[in-house]
Chains A and B, each alone.
Chain A
Amino acid sequence: MSIVGLFAQLLAVILALALAPLLTGWVNQWRAWLQNRRAPGLLQPYCVLHKLFNKESVVAEHASPIFRVAPYIMFGCMALACGIAPTLSTDLPLAPAADAIALVGLFALARVFISLAAMDIGTSFGTLGARREMLIGFLAEPALLMVLFSASLITQSTSLAMIVETLAHQPFAIYPSLAVAGVAFTMVSLAENARVPVDNPATHLELTMIHEALILEYSGRHLALVEWAASLKLFAYSCIGLALFVPWGVAEAGTPLAILFAIPMLVVKLAVGGVLLALIETINAKMRLFRVPEFLATAFLLAVIALLVHVLLGA
């Protein structure tokens, strides 16, 4: 472990914490523009976080400790996930701690706790949200794993840092399996981040809400942490997607100056990705809840096709 690596790791986590609400704001802004609405300011998520942190946190009388600790666990998981994903450099001291499979486990841990907390209060909305979240989670997870495996097969490693290093620093080649896996990954991240074809983050309509139903009972600093964690989750997913499918511009080990170059690259890639996400959300209609398993089964099958194609073509 080098000083440069430690520095890159710290920088990556701090950058994730700072930029995640900005990414959410950027996506919201583009979504509003594409839908011919007046957009909220780019810094709106920061204002919301600031407001919520200054407000009193109301907790239900019968809430158990799980309800209180769940936001912290969720926030911790997401921050750690942002640290594992190689955003700036592949020389990360945290990277050996968790490979791609453990990363999926981290997301699952956060999901389990937020679902438990939602059921803890005993309101019907919370239970409903938890059940829907679990339905989506158990279908999305295998698909996500398959996507990560098809990248692992190409690079012979399940460590994200190794995958990026192998993919980024070799002559450019077209991988049909990665192209299919990319489509599958997009579908999974739409479902996991409560985005439009699956869930709408901007509505509190009880027939359709999933993410909002989970966090309905939170207020004050707890809600702020949950919202921030949701932004971090979107950031982490974007970074994993960028690492797997657009790995260029990430610094190698032992090149401290490349990190300085990696930051603007990351910002540009995230900005383009955010616009694409807003575009997907605008041109798709929200689907019925019972169509979601079909949507995620398609993502899973695409990921399996990616694996099979890799076995057949060796690319």
Chain B
Amino acid sequence: MNTLLAQSINLFAVVLLVLAFAMIAQRRILTLIHLFTLQGAALAAATLIVGYLTGQHHLYFSGVLTFVLKVVLIPILLHRVIDRLNVRWDVETLFNIPTTMLIGIVLVIFAFNLAAPIAGLSASVARGTLGIALACVLLSFLMMIVRAKAVPQVIGFLSMENGLFFAATAATSGMPMIVELGIAFDVLVGILILGVFMFQIREQFDSLDIRHLEKLKED
């Protein structure tokens, strides 16, 4: 039973990775939010399983916290934001998705290579997944780079936080509770501020395209 659970951590890690890839390839904002919700659910499940296997009960709290925050609260906030910005059905034009995904594969190989020696030092139950967590962080980073609109960028930022959180769980069996709580509230406050920020961008430029921000002065 415990071996199966340990293997299912790997499975959830791979689900996280595949969802990060799916986010890179996704054009619709609404589907992007659904994917983010799924990623949060996979993360919560992985955290709970690590908590059960290592007997560290504070991981239960952080698993439940992840679920409440990333599966319920933040998706609701994002849905409200895209409703009020009226971008619910927006489809973003992206440059060449296969190329982006090829870059993503290179990032994954880089992350796996980088993490392999570190994972050898760790004694954690899910040490093999450190490379996957690193790959998730890099892929979300890539997503923030290639996206031009504000909402997908925010989702990329949140997905990067998912990757970091998973790295912490996988490599060190979780951070101290107070740090986790702090990060959780930081993310929540961050999404609120970014929400306000998005409205400001729209008001100023009549669009959510952040390339408008590159100009420093009015011509």
- A interface residues (Cβ-Cβ under 8 A, vs B): 172-177, 179-180, 183, 293-294, 297-298, 301-302, 304-305, 308-309, 311-315
Contact = CB atoms under 8 A, between A and B. Distances in A.
Nearest to A173: B7
B101 A298 contact: yes
B123 interface: no
A174 B11 CA distance: 7
A301 B105 contact: yes
A298 B25 contact: yes
Contacts of B108: 305, 308
A228 B116 CA distance: 50
Contacts of A304: 105
Contacts of B109: 308
Give chain A's interface secondary structure class: helix
B10 interface: yes
Q: Identify the 3 closest CB pairs spanning chains A and B, nearest first.
A: A176-B14, A174-B7, A297-B98
B18 A305 contact: yes
B8 interface: yes
Given A293-B98, A294-B97, A314-B128, A305 B21 contact: yes
B101 A309 contact: no
Interface string B100-113: 01101100110010
Most chain B CB inside 10 Å of its own CB: which residue of A183, A313, A315: A313
Nearest to B14: A176
B193 interface: no
A294 B98 contact: yes
A312 B101 contact: no
A315 B7 contact: yes
Contacts of A183: 18
B101 A315 contact: no
Contact of A312 (B3, B11, B131): B131
B13 interface: yes
B17 A305 contact: yes
A294 B22 CA distance: 12
Given A309-B132, A315-B7, A315-B10, A301 B112 contact: no
A173 B3 CA distance: 8
B14 A311 contact: no
A174 B10 contact: yes
B10 to A, nearest CB: 5
B128 A313 contact: yes
A179 B14 contact: yes
B21 A176 contact: no
